[in-house]
Amino acid sequence: MTHVVEWKVRLYLSENEGTTKSRVVLNTGTTTLTGHGAAHCNPADADVPEIGDELAAGRAMHDLGRQLVRTAERDIKGLGHPATGRSARPAAGWPM
């Protein structure tokens, strides 16, 4: 059986006084999750906005990824299966 879905992701970045903040919003159609990240430019470093954008965005996406894994683990537990854990292989067949 083929399963195809499209999830919408929006990434927002803002910079103010050497700090870049990011917010990434995932909309699955039934659930919305939001990840946050930030990057701070050291005053001794060259001001390269793209680097701050990359760091802040990556951190927001990492935060979102952790939330997605926690959501999946809760859903797996809801089916009566044990949590995935990093060392144990999940009984439900969804390796993490």
- Does residue 90 surpass a pLDDT of 70? no
Mean pLDDT of 49-56: 95
Mean pLDDT of 55-59: 97
Q: How far apart are CA 29 and CA 76, in angstroms?
A: 20
Which tens digits make up the pLDDT trace of 6-37?
Answer: 999 999 999 998 899 999 999 999 999 999 99
Mean pLDDT of 56-65: 98
Q: Which tokens in the block code for residue 54?
A: 């990359």
* pTM of the predicted model as reported, rounded to 2 decimal places: 0.79
| Cβ atoms within 10 Å of 22's Cβ, excluding its own | 25
Q: How far apart are CA 71 and CA 58, in angstroms?
A: 20
What are the structural domain ranges in the chain?
8-78
Mean pLDDT of 58-64: 98
Looking at residue 47, the DSSP 8-state letter turns out to be: -
In words, the CATH class of domain 8-78 is alpha beta
